[in-house]
Amino acid sequence: MGRRYDPERRQRIIDAAIAVVGEHGIGALSHRSVAAAADVPLGSTTYHFATLDDLLVAALEQLSAEWVADMEHWERDTASEMPLADAMAGLMERLLERNRKRLELEYELYVAALRRTPVRPIVSAYLDDTAAQVVRRTGDLGIARATVALFDGLLLQLLLTGRPFDRDEARAAFERVTG
């Protein structure tokens, strides 16, 4: 029997890896679980991604690209005269309302970089790309990085504690950082 032509297989595997982590957590990620979710033979996952770290890198690259696109839309759609503190609080609110489970998935993969060195360059690029978006509003890289750190920290705390989002509290925190 000849080899079946399946140009979308690699992408289906990446999408399945994201789905597995999103539904069951990073501990459930295995070549076997991804193959089952993607409905492909087990050998296909190891053919395209020799290690789980390779698969995590691909998944995080995809999520990071989506995040950067979201940030570009945010930057384009946010009035330039709107204070950065209001814009950042609004972005947080939109993200939390839109898809909290998706944020949990993104941060779970983001935090995976603590233990998985191959994933770190993707997280580093995400941080640099996000700061580059914010620096266009601040003109100061230090303030932009501090704003991104506060943004990530606040979102992570909300996700971990389940506390409701308080737009005024977030805006005040961003005001303190952005001046």
pLDDT tens string, the chain, 179 residues long: the values are 445 677 899 999 999 999 999 899 888 999 999 999 999 999 999 999 999 999 999 999 998 888 888 888 888 888 888 999 999 999 999 999 988 888 888 888 888 888 889 889 988 998 999 999 899 889 999 999 999 999 999 999 999 999 999 999 999 999 999 98
pLDDT score at 58? 94
pLDDT score at 3? 55
Q: At residue 174, what is the residue type?
A: F
Can you spell out the DSSP letters for 26-75? GGG--HHHHHHHHTS-HHHHHHH-SSHHHHHHHHHHHHHHHHHHHHHHHH
Burial of 139 (0-12, 13-18, 19+ CB in 10 A): exposed
Burial of 165 (0-12, 13-18, 19+ CB in 10 A): middle
Structural contact between residues 145 and 131, judged by C-beta atoms closer than 8 angstroms: yes
pLDDT score at 64? 87
pLDDT score at 106? 86
Q: Can you list the domains of the chain with their CATH numbers?
A: 1-50 (1.10.10.60), 59-178 (1.10.357.10)
Residue 179 to residue 172: CA distance in whole angstroms: 10
